[in-house]
Structure 1
Amino acid sequence: MVLWYVLIGFFIGWVVEWLIDVVYWRPRLRAARAELETCRQQLADEQERAMLFQAKIEALEEEGKGLRARVQRLEGERDRYRHERDAALAELRSYAAAAVEPEASPAAGDDLKRIEGIGPKIERLLQQAGVRTFEKLAATPAARLKELLAAGGSRFRLADPGSWPQQARLAAEGRWDELEAYQKMLKGGRRR
């Protein structure tokens, strides 16, 4: 009979422990597992956000490299423009100094206005630059003449010196008939 009491006590202990497990521990274990799953999901979300931030940081760093390169290029252009401006100012100062000097008498040079496309203002500009004769004008490349016109200001930008050396060559050689025939093909110094 003692064995029966022991077995009944064992059975009652087992049932009580099972009830404690079902009523107390299992709900707590479920709640802990749910909280653990929530924490895992939050960790995964935070890792994803961290990866997005890392990608944004890398994109911004790449953009920063591009911007730094652009700034360097723009600084180079600025320095080049400053150099060109300083050179143009120096050239203008030399023109201004030449303008202050007494002008040479008309006998010292040719009438450059006989060249199609050259008027009194352009003639004065060329004379200030030292181009006073047909020979000198014929020897001056059209590119240099364009530079002189550009240095004179925006009012001279429409003038086209492309035909001036050829016209001056004909005038310097005294071939006036050929010059007149050539000028009939021109309008303002340009071919029609």
Structure 2
Amino acid sequence: MGTDIAGGVEIRPHGPGSPWLLADVSLDALPRHYDAFGLLFGVQNYAGFEPVAPGRGLPEDASPDLLGLQLVDSEHGHTWVAWTQLARIDWSVQASRVDDRIHEYKLTSEGPRFVGKSGHHGRAWRAVAGEHADPKGSSYPEGTEWRADDRMWRVERLLQGDVLRVDPQLRALFDAMRNLAERHGDNNVRLVVWFDS
């Protein structure tokens, strides 16, 4: 079972001191994207990012409509992040360590084509890495590679910008929050989330 995100975007249309209201911005389209969860909130942080807003809990002044979105007892990792913090993310910064998931590529005539990343690999990787090799990427120096036939596995470090490059839904959420901040002020927009595993 994986980890999913839920929550909402809140705004203060009348500025500081006024109540927060749930904005009409759905998180339903956000995929299960552990790199984003790790970078923003420190949840499933396999990539080793320094999280922006980990473990803050629910805001004391959360809107009743937002609180009404909580549905299941298995929710955890409640936290929030202000638009001002999201707007300051330096997307060129590298993670503090290599990704725990080893990246897999298919070798083609046009060059390596990214297939995916995982903490567990099949027999092909074990055949070249060794039966007792540790499948955790952070057990190896950055750049370590294994090759077999038309496959390559590589230990890599992510940039924070990699999160947005592969997640158009997150970019769309940030765009919606930016638009709200232009209308209501940067300090009057925040993202409140929790997770279900």
Q: TM-score if structure 2 supplies the norm length?
A: 0.21
Structure number with the higher strand fraction is: 2
Larger Rg: 1
TM-score norm. by structure 1 comes to 0.22
The higher relative CO (CA closer than 8 Å, separation ≥ 6) is in 2
